[in-house]
Structures are given as structure tokens and as C-alpha cells.
Amino acid sequence: MSPDVSVIVPVYNEQSHTLHALVAEVQRVLTTLQVTYELLFVDDGGKHETNMVLRDIVANNSHCKLVVLSRNFGEQAAICAGLRHCSGLVSVNLDSDLQDPPALIEQMLQAWQNGFDVVLAKQSVRHEPISKTFPSAVFYRVLNFLADRPIPVDVGEFRLLSRPVIDAINQMPERIRFMREMVPWMGFKQMELPFVRADRASGESGYNTIKLLKLAFQAVLVSSTKPLFLMTPVALTIMVIGVTALALTSYFPKTIELSTNQLACLNLIFCSFVLLALGLVTPYIARIIGEVRARPLFIVSELVGFATVPMTNPRKQFADRQSGTIASSI
Ligand code: UDP
Ligand code: MG
């Protein structure tokens, strides 16, 4: 039978004690609420040690399951892998570092019972370093300015989704994804729930500067087509300036006098405008290539703790058979 709640946790190189604390807290909250649940970890191609910790957790807790990805596909893909493999009536996505308090699930479930299909946790207060909160606040606002449709501000990946929403997301074919844009686009009844976001319990963020910039870039790419239309008004303005200058110099030859050097520099400036326009189009072409290639969003290398799925660890099967052979030959 399907559990009431599927808690999905993408994990990339998280510390053992943090993961154990997360399991204990989820267990405490959901047992108190008397709901059935599964705790679905998605190992996003992190370190071997993290994988071992997750396997150990799954082996000792019947509520826990593990989806292992074949490499690091990124948080967005890991969340989608969780959604593809969860079976609950609702899903709740949590950060692996206890930044998203599982205690909020109670209010989320109440909102769901009141008819909401999407409950977005809004970071009303953030106890994180300013080096993290400031760029994030700027990012949300710039993204909203550029985006074709409004994107909820200060809302991360901590959200409840009802089964119809999960099924709809699983059917969406796009490869380059930004869930914070996809979910609001989908419609259904949505609401925001404010919460206080703590700093990471321990360890380091799975996002380095390059990964963060890539995510921000991807977010703009999937949320906005405005940059594509930016060049038309710029081109028109340059054209008006050019025609005016031509008219002026034709009627009053002494108005503008430029040296050969100045003309060469002007030429370079206008060439750079053309290249800039091409540069704005290029990421969109790259996105089209990514979509046309239609490679899977993620590759699952192993499923652990799933009752209905046969063991997909051939090494373990081999080792089990070997130990059986040895045992029978003694
Ligand atoms: N994460 C992931 N793949 C990555 C990077 C991060 O699955 O390549 C997970 C990570 O384990 C965590 C969540 O995404 O559960 C958010 O990452 P993190 O806490 O490092 O980011 P922050 O909260 O600092 O934005
Ligand atoms: Mg975090």
C-alpha cells in the first residue's frame, strides 16, 4: 500500500551524523503525526563514504529507501529521481543538512487536507551567512524581473506536492530543469508557508561557486526569453543614431568630423554589439541541442530497500553466491 508521505532527500557528500539526525527528526515528526511514510534518499553521485552511510541507514530502517545515481547529476535531477521513485500520496522535499525543518510537515499536511496541491515553504527568516543570503536575495529578484512568469521569491526546494502534481511533473519531458519555475507554472492550488531557515547543521554546501553560477544561469535560461528580445530595441536605437548622423553630415558636412582611428574604433564597438547579440542567442541554442539530444535526466545505478524491485546490485549477488558456495563446500 502507498504510504501517506514520501520524504525525498537528495544527498551529495553529507556527513554521517547529520544524516542520522535527519532520519531521527523525520521519524519523530511523522510518528507523532501518525502517518505512514517512506524516507527516500537519492545519492547524487557523492563520495563512497556517504553511500556507505546511506546503505547502513536503509539496512537498519524499514522506512528508508535509496536511489543511487550513476554520477553527480545535480540537485534538480536528484529531486526528479526521487519524484520518479516515490509512491506516497504526497511528497515533501528536504535538504539533507537539516536546513528544512521536518516539523513544518505538520502544517504542510494540514494545508494539503484543506485542498492545496502545492505547499511552498517560504524562507521568511534566514540564519545563514550574509555571503549566502545576499546573493540569493539578489538572484531571486533579478530572476523575477527577467522571468516570463512570476517565480515565488525566497522559496527554495522545500515543498509539498500532491500525487496529481507528482504525476504531472514525471510526465514533463524537458531535460534542463529548474523546479522553482516548473512548479508555479503547473497551476493547481498553491500556497506559501513561512518558516525560519537554519544554517547547515554541519559540513559544507554541495554548491561551489561554479555550480551556483551554473544553476543561476540555467534558471534564467528556462524561465526567461526576454534576453532574446533585448537586442531589437538596441539595434533600432543604433540605427536611429546612424541615420541621424548620416543626415547631419550630409547637410552640414562640418558637424561631425572623425579621424580614421576614431572610425576604426567605432567599427570595433559595433562589431562587439553584433557578437554580444550572438552571445545572447548561443545559450538558447545550447538548450535546444540539450533538449533535442533527449538524454535521460539522470541514470539510476542501483535501487536499495525497494520491496517490489529485484536487487540490482550484481556485486552483492555474486558475493552472496560465492559465500553460499564456500559454505556448502565446508
Ligand atoms: N545536492 C545534490 N546534488 C548536488 C548538490 C547538492 O543532491 O550536486 C543536495 C544536497 O545534498 C542538499 C541539497 O541538494 O540536500 C541542497 O544542497 P546544499 O545544502 O549543499 O545547498 P544550500 O542549502 O547551501 O543551498
Ligand atoms: Mg542546504
Q: Which atom of ligand 1 is nearest to the CA of 74?
A: 8
Q: 120, exposed or middle or buried, with CB in 10 Å at 0-12, 13-18, 19+?
A: buried
Pocket probe for ligand 1: among 7, 8, 9, 11, the residue whose CB has the most ligand atoms within 8 Å is 11
Q: Are residues 51 and 159 in the same domain?
A: yes
- Residue 105 covered by a domain: yes
Between 177 and 325, the higher pLDDT residue: 177
In this predicted structure, the answer to whether residue 289 has a pLDDT above a threshold of 70 is yes
In this predicted structure, the answer to whether residue 235 has a pLDDT above a threshold of 60 is yes
Q: Are residues 214 and 140 in the same domain?
A: yes
Return the pLDDT at 308: 66
Across all residues in the chain, what is the average pLDDT? 89
The sheet that has 37-43: what strands, in order across it?
A: 190-197, 118-126, 155-162, 90-93, 5-11, 37-43, 64-69, 300-304
- Residue 313 covered by a domain: no
Name the closest-CA residue to atom 22, ligand 1: 205
How do residues 97-112 score in pLDDT, each as one tens digit? 989 999 999 999 999 9
Domains identified in the chain, total number: 2
In this predicted structure, the answer to whether residue 138 has a pLDDT above a threshold of 90 is no
Q: Which atom of ligand 1 is nearest to the CA of 96?
A: 15
Return the pLDDT at 330: 45
Would you say the pTM of this structure is higher than 0.95? Answer: no
Q: Are residues 202 and 231 in the same domain?
A: no
Across 1-10, 166-175, 210-219, least confident range: 210-219
Pocket probe for ligand 1: among 8, 51, 97, the residue whose CB has the most ligand atoms within 8 Å is 97
Q: Are residues 97 and 198 in the same domain?
A: yes
171/2 Cα distance (integer angstroms):
20
Alpha-carbon dihedral angle through residues 132, 206, 20, 201, given to the nearest 10 degrees: -20
In this predicted structure, the answer to whether residue 4 has a pLDDT above a threshold of 60 is yes
- Residue 319 covered by a domain: no
The Cα-based distances of 168 to 89, 218, 310 in angstroms read 14, 21, 27
In this predicted structure, the answer to whether residue 328 has a pLDDT above a threshold of 70 is no
Q: Which atom of ligand 1 is nearest to the CA of 204?
A: 20
- Residue 213 covered by a domain: yes
How many A from CA of 271 to the centre of ligand 2? Answer: 44
Q: Are residues 154 and 255 in the same domain?
A: no
- Residue 315 covered by a domain: no
- Nearest ligand to residue 98 Cα: 2
Q: 307, exposed or middle or buried, with CB in 10 Å at 0-12, 13-18, 19+?
A: exposed
Q: Are residues 105 and 41 in the same domain?
A: yes
Q: Are residues 160 and 275 in the same domain?
A: no
78 confidence band (pLDDT: 50, 70, 90): very high
Nearest to 82 by CA among 19, 39, 20, 37: 39
- Residue 283 covered by a domain: yes
How many A from CA of 160 to the centre of ligand 1? Answer: 18
- Residue 67 covered by a domain: yes
Q: Are residues 195 and 145 in the same domain?
A: yes
Q: Are residues 192 and 213 in the same domain?
A: yes
Residue keyed to cell 544561469: 217
Domain of 135, CATH number, reads: 3.90.550.10
Q: Are residues 248 and 196 in the same domain?
A: no
Return the pLDDT at 320: 77
Return the pLDDT at 118: 97
For residue 285, what are the domain limits? 226-293
- Residue 23 covered by a domain: yes
Q: Are residues 175 and 239 in the same domain?
A: no
Q: Which atom of ligand 1 is nearest to the CA of 72?
A: 8
| CB-based pocket (< 6 A), ligand 1 | 10-12, 14, 44, 72, 74-75, 78, 95-97, 99, 205-207
Q: Are residues 19 and 99 in the same domain?
A: yes
How do residues 110-133 score in pLDDT, each as one tens digit? 999 999 999 999 988 888 888 888
Q: Are 42 and 129 in contact (CB under 8 A)?
A: no
Q: How many residues does the chain have?
A: 330
